[in-house]
Amino acid sequence: MSLTTQIIRVSDKKWEPKEITAIAKDVSKGQLVIFPTETVYGIGALCTRPKSVQQIYRIKGREKRKPMAYHLGAIKQLNQVPFQRTAIFEALRKRFWPGPLTMIVRGKANQTIGLRFPLHDAARAMIRHCQGPLLATSANRSGQPPTVSGKTACDQFSGKVKWIMDGGKTKMTTASTVVDISSVPYRIVRKGPKNKEVERVLKQHGYGY
């Protein structure tokens, strides 16, 4: 089924509040949104809308075994994610969030959960206005490079999502660093921006390389 995709122009520091509110309202009702971050573009759905989350897997061709990360618009939205807070999580959060770091943590049901707090004001404003965090992944077809421009996002997903926030080219043009702190030893799963600094923090907490 083809949708009429609405494309809005944003920048990191400038956006139209009425448009952000309209996007958040639709996402809270189950629509999908593509949004810029400082690293790559994401495609997300409200975390409490499982059918919408499954739609992301379908339009991306993503394997069901690959989880998505919770994307936050404000730190207080962590209260809506059931996970085990640890000292290393707090150390990394205070040092690198908002920023290009995804943390894999242990959920209350002992599963693993990804958490991301992007350094992009417009994206965070949109998520803050939703009814909770978004479950999101990179906005690209599976097997293709991550999307780093609004044009590429539009080319790949127009007609498949309700909203695309076109913020032009992303600042870092590479995916976030991913660190797994769900069990010991902690490890960097994917190297990206600031991975050396992350390694130093882990080392300071007794988990060196």
**150 touches 167 (CB < 8 A):** yes
Torsion of CA 197, 199, 204, 205, to 10 degrees: 130
**Domains in the chain: boundaries:** 1-73+118-172, 83-114+176-209
Q: Tell me, which fold does domain 1-73+118-172 have in CATH?
A: DHBP synthase (3.90.870)
- If you search the block for the tokens 């061709």, which residue do you land on? 61
Residues in the chain: 209
Please list the rounded mean pLDDT of every run of 10 residues in the chain (209 residues). Answer: 90 95 98 98 98 97 93 97 96 98 96 97 98 97 94 96 98 97 94 96 79
Q: Which of 109, 67, 103, 71 is nearest to 87 (CA)?
A: 103
Three-state SS sequence of 62-105: CCCCCCCEEECCCHHHHHHCCECCCHHHHHHHHHHCCCCEEEEE
**121 touches 129 (CB < 8 A):** no
What is residue 198's three-state secondary structure?
helix
pLDDT of residue 120: 97
CA 102 to each of CA 53, 167, 193: distance values in angstroms, whole numbers, following the listed order: 19, 21, 11
**114 touches 104 (CB < 8 A):** yes
Q: How far is Cα 94 from Cα 21, in angstroms, rounded to an integer? A: 28
**Residue type at 184?**
V
pLDDT of residue 209: 52
Q: Which of 47, 46, 36 is nearest to 8 (CA)?
A: 36
